[in-house]
Amino acid sequence: MKKIEVNLHDCKHCDGSGTCKNGKDGCSCVACAKKNELSFWKQDNQFGLLCGSCGGIGRAEPLTERIHNRVAPLLAIYLVCILLGIVLLAAMSKNQFFSELLAFSSAIIGSVVGYYFSSKGE
């Protein structure tokens, strides 16, 4: 698989501590209380909750890097599923272009599977 490097930066929400103190009087903020799945009635005056931005590790991955690292695999999954669906529909409806669709789809699906499951020694 492709080697993905992640650049983690100090979380600005919790100042790198992993514990939220951005609420009133040093409490955890409402956003972090929601992220920690507290009920509506227990969201106020909570201390020591994990930071909702970084998950409590004190370092966060920027949104653009998360998107960059996840878009290509998701597009590959969607493409393979759509092509398999088209081939299945063509086979069920006994379409006259089934052989052409199968040849086209199998080449693309084979390329995607070969790319993601090849053993390059990485």
Reported as a single tens digit per residue, the pLDDT across 18-34 is 888 887 888 888 788 77
Give strand pairing partners of 36.
none
Give the pLDDT band of residue 4 (cuts 50, 70, 90).
low
- The angle, 0 to 180 degrees and rounded to 10, between the axes of the packed helices 63-92 and 98-117 is 150
Q: Which of residues 83 and 58 earns the better pLDDT score?
A: 83
Give the highest mean pLDDT range of 13-22, 55-64, 99-108: 99-108
Residue 57 has pLDDT above 90, yes or no: no
Tell me the pLDDT of the chain averaged across its residues. 82
- pLDDT for 120 equals 60
Residue with tokens 């979380």: 11
- pLDDT for 119 equals 64
